Chains A and B, each alone.
Chain A
Amino acid sequence: MSAEKKVHPKQADFHRKRAIAFGKDSDSIIKAFFGSSATIAIVVLGLITLFLFKEGAGFLKLYHTSLKEYRLSGLEYVDILKEKRDDYTALSRYLTDIRADWINHLKDSGMSAKEIAVTVRTPEAKAFFMGYMRNGSEMRRFIKEKMDVAIEIRDQHTTNKNLGDTLANYTKKIEAVKNPNYILNEEDRARFILLLKESLNNGEISIEVRTERQFRYGELEQETPLEASDLLLYLQLLEEQYNATERKIKPIDFDMAVLEVTSNYDIYAEILRKQALSIQVALAHAEALNFSHPELAQRVLRFKELNELYFDSNDAHLEKLAQWDPSAKTLFLRTLASFLMGKEWITASDQQDWYGLLPLLVGSLLISVIALFFAIPFGVGAAIYVNQIASPLERNLIKPYIEFVSAIPSVVIGFFGVVVFGEAIRLFSQLDFLSWMPFFPIQERLNAFTAGCLLALMAIPTIFTLAEDAINNIPRHFKEASYAVGATQLQTTLRVIVPTALSGIISAVMLGFGRVIGETMVVLLCAGNRITIPDFSEGIGVFFQPVHTMTGIIAQEMGEVVHGSVHYRALFMVGIVLFFISLIINYSAQWVVKKYRKVGD
């Protein structure tokens, strides 16, 4: 046997994986690369979510405390009082309007200024108008007093809490300094000098001590290094400061304090009773007046009716005040409700801050409705046109063009909205032949409509691209089958293409909605930023009112809030709500596609 024959035959090529780097073959390297990218993305997303929830989480607790104090301090009671005052103010304003209209009518009927002045200043007229308006002062004064008391209570409470925090800080410091191993650092030196200087103004220390301190202060000012003996003095100064602060805390007993707010109930009832009488006297003078215009007379009648209602509500109002209980429990659920369903977003108020989501939510939704109203027909229509009807040349022109719109930075669109579009809409609404529209001319150039139209512009590319994809994914043979039985292009599109692509189109619309509701810059610039629930009684006019949005408020207020305050956390809560809305939208878009996908290919 020859030597070669004994050699073990060469192993086949597949006996081992071929390594490229670090002993790994290409497959595992690729897997590691993409796997780690995906992991990083997921981890980052998770962290963002976590952060959002962490910052928002404290909100309910803080807000709950705030609402509890609102009740304990009697501010809630004052707000009940204010309801009455506001009613009266509204009535007075109504009357002022009547008077202004009366003067206008007189003017229109050709009276000279002098004659008018005489007519509206007859003793009867004065007794009616002026007589009515005089009736609020006593009530206002009463309420103002009560309000001041309640605010005072609350302020003292807040101050106490802050002082408590300061004391805690002092305690910590003193503990630290008491430690025999403690070494004074630069920060301590600065604080020491400051305390030393302040203590010189303290009248309670003896002359010797003062001279001594004065001397030491002078030395330290000259950059003399600190000595061990200073430690003792430092400690002493800290303790003095601690005591001084402690003295400033005037603990309040809510139960007692609030009595001052709720006292004088009888006086208030008497005020209301007298007011009612005196108003009735004023109203009686209206009989003697001749308004010469049926509409005005009508309004005066209406005014009288409203006043009757006002009187009638007195009892219920007083009853409500009597029933009010400062020690009633503030339910946690109520706190949640007053966030999710609160109608007011009032911050930096001297009485009570309200963080109600509704005005922002309604604003966001209103704008979205407008945006989708325009974006759906245009986006879907363009998608159908481009995919089904357009010639190749048109397709190559339109498609990139629409997609290009999404490349415009939103701030530019917002800017365009402020400068050009809003103004154009206002001018347009002032045209004479459009004056039959009840809400024209519009007052505000920046309103929900302006923002909605511009957002539509931003949503169109999203809807267009996704809807076009959905239509494009419809297998070509459906179209051919339809044509083959003699359908026209329109019939094919409406009866076969669109129904088959419907799930994709709906999901495109939903993602467009997600785009719209999450957009910030345009709404911030163009929506008018008025934080109120728009007045839906105006019909279509509601779309032309300024609103604020969830995204807008975060962008606007985040910069100026105190880190960790209720307000700060409220903004995070709004963020969480937005987060959930987007989540739901995206999820349901996917659900629609999955559920209604008719063509499984």
Chain B
Amino acid sequence: MNPKNTPLPSNPTNPIIEVRDFNFMYGSAQALYDISLDIGEKEVTALIGPSGCGKSTFLRCFNRMNDLIDNTRIPGGTIKISDVDIYHKDIDVIELRKHVGMVFQKSNPFPKSIYENIAYGLRIQGIKRKNEIDQVVEECLRGAALWDEVKDRLSDSALGMSGGQQQRLCIARALAVKPKIILMDEPCSALDPVATAKVEELIHVLKENYTIVIVTHNMQQAARLSDRTAFFYLGKLIEYGPNEQVFMNPENPKTEAYVSGRFG
């Protein structure tokens, strides 16, 4: 199947991210082939697919996190966010990353206090006023449904929190720089069901104000959370569409096999 020749499947009407014929290489190994899709504003888009199919790679292209890896290359294609080509040479990557926040698979709070973890994004922008920072910290912790749990121990080390709390702290940290888009790479894979439920609930709320792209291995989660789902296989986008289509009525037999669990 060649996405080039087929019309974009059931595109969102208000795309904020537009990917066209995008290719990506780690050194000489190609990880993504000719990806084209649109991601709708204030929607939750799930990326699914078997391990190693390139979901994380694709996600990390949106905030150019792959720049940190040596020898990566984009032999062709574009990604536009809000109509700006983010791989254009004039792009300010720092600003881009403030615009496109990210939450990682493994919760990774800094070895600092809870307060400082969130304040970090502001401090690096040179904001020093205490009450402004205080306000943002509270806002973000509330936004991440964490405020009530930690308000009495803001100066404790973030590493002393539970895994679920740490992950929500990371979400709060991402919110602090006021992004438009939040990327999440398997945010719940290391959490127990209770913590997972809390994060899912949070994502549900965040959807009101943010565009969310989430990678997940959990089919139910994808079905529950997202509006649209993209299925990747061996670096290629196999199928992309609204949840009903991908999970109930897949066009491609591979998608069908994968979502029904008959797949390695």
Chain A interface (Cβ within 8 Å of chain B)? 391-392, 475, 477-488, 491, 495-496, 499-500, 598-600
Contacts and interface: CB of A to CB of B under 8 A. Distances in A.
Interface stretch (B28-36, B102-110, B191-199, B207-215): B102-110
Interface stretch (B1-9, B92-100, B251-259): B92-100
Given A479-B68, A491-B124, A484 B102 contact: yes
A481 B124 contact: no
B113 to A, nearest CB: 11
9 contacts: A479-B68, A481-B173, A483-B65, A484-B101, A484-B102, A485-B121, A488-B94, A495-B123, A496-B110
Interface in B40-74: 63, 65, 68, 70-71
Given A485-B177, A486-B124, A392 B104 contact: no
A19 to B, nearest CB: 43
B124 A495 contact: yes
Given A485-B98, A485-B176, A500 B111 contact: yes
B68 A485 contact: no
Given A484-B102, A486-B124, A491-B124, A478 B95 contact: no
Interface of B: 63, 65, 68, 70-71, 94-95, 97-98, 101-102, 104, 106, 108-112, 120-121, 123-125, 157, 159, 170, 173-174, 176-177
Contacts of A392: 70-71
Contacts of A488: 94, 124
A485 B112 CA distance: 16
Contacts of B176: 485
Contacts of B70: 391-392
A279 B194 CA distance: 98
B94 A484 contact: no
B120 A485 contact: yes
Given A477-B108, A478-B110, A495-B123, 6 more contacts: A477-B106, A479-B68, A481-B108, A500-B110, A598-B159, A599-B159
B98 A481 contact: no
A487 B111 contact: no
A477 B166 CA distance: 14
B121 A486 contact: yes
A483 B124 contact: no
Contact of A486 (B97, B104, B111, B157): B97
B108 A478 contact: yes
Contacts of A482: 110, 120, 124
A248 to B, nearest CB: 78
Contacts of B108: 475, 477-478, 480-481
Contacts of A500: 110-111
A491 B104 CA distance: 20
A482 B110 CA distance: 8
A421 B64 CA distance: 48
A197 to B, nearest CB: 86
Contacts of B68: 479-480, 483
A599 B94 contact: no
Contacts of A599: 111, 159
Residue of A391, A479, A486 ringed by the most chain B CB atoms within 10 A: A486
Contacts of B102: 480, 484
A484 B65 contact: yes
A481 B104 contact: yes
Contacts of A495: 120, 123-124
Contacts of B95: 486
Nearest to A491: B124
Contacts of B120: 482, 485, 487, 495
A599 B106 CA distance: 14
A486 B106 contact: no
Contacts of B124: 482, 485-488, 491, 495
Contacts of A484: 63, 65, 97, 101-102, 104, 174
A485 B95 CA distance: 9
B120 to A, nearest CB: 7
A556 B147 CA distance: 68
